[in-house]
Structure 1
């Protein structure tokens, strides 16, 4: 059984649908690191996850706020975008550790900017350009992550 899952995403709708599919397996909490160039689909995937968990409002990019919290009936989701983070130590001042409870879903764009101040991920998600389309690769980084990737692969 592979610890990696890959899929081609033809458009924005398929990227959102992939997030909705992924949310079925992370509903009990997970830390996801989203990697990829600007415009590769990280926020679009995040929108699919948040909406798939039941959020009906807009899903905003937290580029300027660093974090957008979504408190839903069954789960807390925290969507981070660290792209504009000047110094990782700023995360300590905002109380970053308080967000990472075992049952929370923490989605982190540009995680390398928070090195040393955020926990290791359960999943590394790579979004890459494939012409006008995208490819997603989900890699497990923990036992929880391995279970999620296995379920995702069985659902393909």
Structure 2
């Protein structure tokens, strides 16, 4: 008689988990578009490849808030080699758009001629992008570019490491 086999264990807080993922926009005119992935081949196929990015699985300590809240919640219900596709509303992903994060800045504040879609840094280190250029003012949006967007994330748990309790 054969007894045994595999002991399935769920991911728990404190563990270091390694995942791979593909993030897509879940609704609207850009539905299905990939916005981020750990897979270089998919990034190239989808036109989002950035040679500065390391396309490798990512690791994080569960419970430390290092990743989107919805991803952290999902991995708590998974084990090694599990795959799951989750849909995250803005509150579990990049947050809702906040009008108070869009500023009208005098054009004279810019060293170079401002152009729509250009990235800018605030004095406090926040990154925003120029959404509109008028004669005397420039609209700068400091919301995350996916704020207010429902996303879909296909993720795989590659590995887990127990926390060091010594």
TM-score by length of 2: 0.24
User: Which structure has more strand as a fraction of its residues?
Assistant: 2
Larger Cα Rg: Structure 1 or Structure 2? 2
Structure with bigger helix share is 1
